[in-house]
């Protein structure tokens, strides 16, 4: 009698890396759309007659809506899933990006108000994006790979400058600033059309096999979070859940730390190119290329920080040590930005900014930490609350720097302001956060 042969198990697929690549590209476009105003700001402010305070408020318009939309966006993600909500988000933010290109054709008395309104709508449309990223990473990646995965999509904020700043600088120089908005809006609309065909949950993805889904689930991935008919039930929308999250000392420390870290992010997204033009005398075309070098260092730092954190975890260090070491070390390095106040050579300024960018990239592990700690039933809401704190810096930082410039006529105090927040973020993680672990809601 011939024994039947047992079929060999199929090798484990690695579709999660494809999903991560999609998030990286999408987040690159996301951040490039946010940064459009900083690249065209010098030319646009002249045409619209905006001073430094007016530009500060224009820069902050995005963040007002972005912050207000975080908790509703998180709720939508928990109740309707990442795929559906994110798809609508991409289409809307791309549409509002393109509309900003028409502001230059309006009467200057109304153009500034319309620009503020469109930036506000852009912020509202983008508000679910990062909570959705964190939610998708928590779904597709086991805990031991989550630091690297979160660092990859988060590092796209730097890659956006590396890739698009030279392009946007050239478009502004060659065709005029409105074309920057039209170009970026068109790219986003193409991505929105493709989104439903390229994004699925682990159990529903046609290319992910059972071996990969089981591997993710065994490692702590929330594979059923967005699966139709199997998704984890979202916690009821009630104020007590928000109160419980805010009373948790660990989460509060993470939230406050993200506010401080994002102060650096928003300086780079808004005033940094203008700093190079006005304080250092560079042309807008040169700035498009020069700004890419610190951003490239931030990108490399972001990848290194996530890899190093996961490496520590795999070597047997606790989750607390694995996440805190790169965060603290990277942010302490970012403080070197203040050294730009004491050098005059262009190469020295770019070197210090590149080092600060690199350190900020290494330390920007907040989204990995929030994926590690969010209660399973409110991952979107917890991510939204985290991003609410973080992007309040997007309101405060551009306006504060605008007033500093108006009062002093120099960026010196502005760089002190930004650097101090890096040091404060270190204090939050060392003094408030304590042990990093997943929160369990009561009742």
Report the candidate in 25, 24, 4, 54 with the shortest Cα–Cα distance to residue 406: 54
Angle, in degrees to the nearest 10, between helices 70-80 and 129-140:
40
Query: Which run of H or of E encompasses 184?
Result: helix 178-198
pLDDT of residue 259: 93
Residue position matching structure tokens 């997943």: 438
- Number of Cβ within 10 Å of residue 288's Cβ equals 24
Q: What's the pTM value of the predicted model, to 2 decimals?
A: 0.70
pLDDT of residue 9: 58
Tokens representing 365? 């592990």
pLDDT in tens, the chain (443 residues): 444 444 555 788 888 889 899 899 989 998 888 777 777 766 777 777 767 777 777 777 888 888 888 778 777 887 788 888 888 999 999 999 999 888 877 776 777 788 888 889 998 998 888 788 888 888 888 878 877 787 787 778 778 877 887 888 888 888 888 888 899 899 999 989 998 888 887 888 888 788 888 888 888 777 776 665 444 444 444 557 778 888 889 999 999 999 999 999 888 877 888 888 878 877 767 777 777 788 888 888 988 988 899 889 888 899 999 999 999 999 999 999 999 999 988 889 889 999 998 999 899 888 788 878 888 777 767 877 888 888 888 888 888 898 898 888 888 999 999 999 999 999 999 999 988 888 887 75
- In angstroms, how far is CA 257 from the centroid of its own chain? 14
Asked if 324 and 435 touch (Cβ cutoff 8 Å), the reply is no
Contacts (Cβ under 8 Å, ≥6 apart) of 146: 137, 138, 310, 368, 371, 372
pLDDT of residue 232: 47
At 249, give phi and psi (nearest 5°): -60, -40
pLDDT of residue 3: 47
Tokens representing 248? 């948790």
Distance set, CA 296 to CA 156, 164, 273, 317 (Å): 10, 12, 15, 29
Phi-psi region of 49 (alpha: psi -120 to 50; beta: other; left: phi over 0): left
* Distance (Å, whole) CA 136 – CA 147: 13
pLDDT of residue 322: 92
pLDDT of residue 239: 59
Structural domains of the chain in order of their starting residue, each with its CATH number: 16-196+233-433 (1.20.1250.20)
């Amino acid at each position: 009698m011939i024994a039947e042969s047992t079929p060999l198990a199929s090798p484990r697929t690695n579709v999660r890396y494809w999903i991560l690549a999609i998030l990286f590209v999408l987040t690159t476009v996301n951040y490039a759309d946010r940064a459009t105003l900083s690249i065209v700001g010098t030319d646009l402010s002249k045409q619209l007659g905006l001073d430094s305070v007016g530009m500060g408020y224009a820069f902050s318009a995005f963040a007002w809506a972005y912050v207000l939309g975080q908790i509703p966006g998180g709720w939508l993600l928990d109740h309707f899933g990442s795929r559906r909500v994110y798809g609508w988000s991409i289409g809307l933010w791309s549409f509002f990006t393109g509309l900003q290109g028409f502001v230059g054709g309006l009467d200057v008395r109304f153009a500034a108000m319309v620009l503020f309104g469109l930036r506000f709508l852009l912020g509202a449309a983008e508000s679910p994006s990062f909570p959705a990223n964190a939610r998708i990473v928590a779904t597709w990646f086991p805990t031991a790979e989550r630091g690297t995965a979160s660092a990859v999509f988060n590092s796209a904020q730097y890659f956006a400058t590396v890739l698009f700043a030279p392009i946007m600088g050239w478009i502004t120089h060659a065709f005029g600033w409105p074309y920057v908005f039209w170009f970026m809006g068109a790219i986003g609309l193409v991505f929105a059309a493709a989104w439903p065909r390229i994004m699925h949950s682990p159990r529903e993805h046609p290319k992910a096999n059972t071996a990969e889904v089981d591997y993710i689930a065994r490692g702590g991935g929330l594979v059923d979070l967005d699966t139709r008919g199997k998704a984890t039930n979202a916690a009821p929308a009630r104020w007590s859940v928000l109160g419980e999250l805010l009373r948790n000392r660990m989460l509060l420390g993470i939230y406050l730390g993200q506010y401080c870290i994002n102060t650096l992010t928003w300086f780079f997204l808004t005033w940094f190119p203008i700093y190079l033009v006005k304080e250092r005398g560079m042309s807008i075309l040169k700035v498009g290329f020069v700004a890419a070098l610190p951003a490239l260092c931030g990108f490399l730092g972001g990848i290194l920080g996530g890899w190093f954190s996961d490496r520590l975890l795999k070597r047997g260090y606790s989750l607390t040590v694995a996440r805190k070491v790169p965060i603290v070390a990277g942010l302490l390095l970012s403080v070197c930005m203040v050294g730009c106040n004491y050098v005059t050579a262009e190469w020295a300024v770019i070197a210090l900014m590149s080092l600060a960018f690199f350190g900020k990239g290494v330390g920007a592990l907040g989204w990995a930490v929030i994926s590690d700690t969010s209660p399973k039933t409110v991952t979107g809401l917890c991510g939204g609350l985290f991003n609410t704190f973080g992007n309040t810096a997007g309101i405060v930082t551009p306006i504060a720097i605008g007033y500093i410039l108006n009062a002093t006529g120099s960026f010196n105090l502005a760089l002190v302001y930004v650097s101090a927040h890096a040091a404060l973020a270190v204090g939050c993680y060392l003094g408030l956060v304590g042990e990093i672990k997943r929160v369990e809601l009561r009742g």
